[in-house]
Amino acid sequence: MRRPALVMATVTLLSLVSFVPSSSALPGRTEDPARTAVQRLAVKNLKWEPCFERKVKAAYRRVECTTLKSPLDWKKPNGKKITLHISRLKARKKPRGVVFTNPGGPGDLGWTLPLVFIDAGRNRLLDTMDIIGIDVRGTGYSTQASCKRFSSRNLDPRNRSAGNIKAALAQSAKFAKSCQNSGNKKLPSKYVTTAQTVYDLEWIRRNLKTSDNRKVNKIHWIGYSAGTWLGAYYARKWPKHTGRFVLDSVVNFASTWEATWDAQPEAFQKRFGTFARWAARHNGSYGLGTSQKAVTASYERIRADVVKAGTVEYLDYDGNSWDLYPQDVDQEIVTSLYSKYFFEYLAGFLADLSEASNAREARAARRAHNPYAGQTPTFMNIGCNDTPTKRTPEELVTYSGQAGPKYPLMGYARLFDSCVYWKRPSGQLKLPLPVGRGLPKVLMIHSVGDPATWYGGAVQAHKAYRNSRLVTVRNEGDHAIYAGDNPCVNAVVEKYLIDGVYPKKDLSCSGRPMPTPLRETRERDRPVNPVLRAAELAEAGRG
């Protein structure tokens, strides 16, 4: 199994999409100029071409790519345009429909997500559906958002001295200002919102045809993490064009992003406890300790050594050399907690840091176009534009100081919330809140121990969105379940998505057993997390 290199830290921690809600309008009842525009603009003839310019395995060469011009601002549809990058994996047989996919983020590259279903062997899906991947506005090969980066990696959030806190807040303020004032002029910050993206999706639907040249009246949906929020808002805005929607690892779209972020430190700390117990059972392989307490103490000792050194030089298994700050250690842990199949890498990473035997090699040159450059800006713009942040900087300092001792892995790091300095623009395009009755059916999937999207939030969203079914995955903590190794979840999803069999009631599936380290078994072919695998595939690139 390929290890998650440090670049995997670019996979954002949670879905982060919302905006000013309006719960008064009923589905399909509210007219507005943007809605009229997306229904009346002249459609284009999409020209598809091979996505990969590099040599890849034959199954991947089937994916095609195209671009589509979309209004910068759907309130001014005849004004400036941006570019949307779209991929398509044709059904191997006559298509029954079209499935849009989204890996979350918000802002993760979406064009490679259809390929995950090849790797996962989801043959019925591959046979029956055209699968669409989209780099949403702001990221990937679509018109990118941008922010001037002000690195805070050297500022340890556990250092609660007045000077360090002042420096951390100053960096957050500079970052917020740079995103809003010095971003990409082709895509200013205020237009990177979920509302604008929902209209983009409908515009793509209108321009799209099935691979056998039929009009697409309804889209189906597979959305992970942020893709659950985006999918729910599309369903609320365009119910007549909503087919069978699967929302996997649900962000609570009935709440706020500040509340969602606040739930993460506790959830990730619990998930780290699961990892620590696993590492303790395999102490002979990693030497991190024979109990959860001992493994946690090893992590704290390792982190303290990095703090003392300032930075530690680390050579990963791919031959890349990195200068690690304390925050980088935390981030590698957080990223690896998304899937139990990365626990082996995480244990090896901590063991290597403990041994501190690393050499240096030069990094490879970056590409002329960096498709990852828009991820963080998109994440920030959507999260800060769409919902108000209620805390002041002073209140954030207090909150992070309270959360840190209880949930040290991420609690202290809440200090770096640039949204407290964000000046939310007025006159935003708005969408109604996806709650209540009379909405299109959706199927929700969620594991009880998911660290990135809190299970309690998924339950709240399920209750608020009345026409939904929730599949709870017990004894499981992975983030993003469908197209992994859970046969129960895969069967429920595909019966609904392909056959239209909607569960009569909420369901429960059992989680999968914890893996045995490869060094202790002959097993080599492991399931992959679909969201992280999509990011890995993006590294294969288009040339």
More confident residue, 99 or 345: 99
Cis (ω within 30 of 0) for the bond into 50?
no
> Residue 532: its pLDDT value, please?
79
Q: How many helices (H) and strands (E) does the chain have?
A: 16, 12
162 within domain boundaries: no
Whether 353 contacts 301, CB under 8 Å: no
Alpha-carbon dihedral 465, 468, 471, 472, rounded to 10 degrees: 20
Q: What would the pLDDT profile of 86-105 be if each residue is shown by its tens digit? A: 999 999 999 999 999 999 99
For the question of whether the overall pTM of this predicted structure is more than 0.85, the answer is yes
Residue found by looking up tokens 């990937």 in the block: 140
Whether 229 contacts 423, CB under 8 Å: no
395 within domain boundaries: no
pLDDT at 526 over 90: no
240 within domain boundaries: yes
Residue 406 in tokens: 């209880």
Nearest to 116 by CA among 107, 99, 103, 97: 103
More confident residue, 124 or 531: 124
Estimate the crossing angle of helix 326-336 against helix 257-281, to 10 degrees. 80
Q: What would the pLDDT profile of 115-151 be if each residue is shown by its tens digit? A: 999 999 999 999 999 999 999 999 999 999 998 877 7
The pLDDT > 70 percentage for the chain reads 87
Q: Which of 11-15, 33-37, 224-228 has the highest mean pLDDT?
A: 224-228
More confident residue, 276 or 428: 276
Number of domains in the chain: 1
301 within domain boundaries: yes
Confidence of residue 366 (pLDDT cuts 50, 70, 90): very low
- State the DSSP string of 354-398: HHT-----PPPPPPSS-TTTTHHHHHHHHHHHHS-----HHHHHH
pLDDT at 183 over 70: no
155 within domain boundaries: no
With vertex at residue 503, the alpha carbon angle to CA 499 and CA 508, rounded to the nearest 5 degrees, is 120
Q: What would the pLDDT profile of 383-397 be if each residue is shown by its tens digit? A: 999 888 999 999 999
CATH number at residue 370: 3.40.50.1820
Confidence of residue 295 (pLDDT cuts 50, 70, 90): very high
> Residue 32: its pLDDT value, please?
72
pLDDT at 25 over 50: no
> Residue 54: its pLDDT value, please?
73
405 within domain boundaries: no
Range(s) of the domain holding residue 206: 1-147+183-388+424-543
396 within domain boundaries: no
- State the DSSP string of 183-229: S-TTS-GGG-SHHHHHHHHHHHHHH-B-TTS-B---EEEEEETHHHH
Whether 407 contacts 269, CB under 8 Å: yes
Bin 412: left if φ > 0, else alpha if -120 < ψ < 50, else beta. alpha
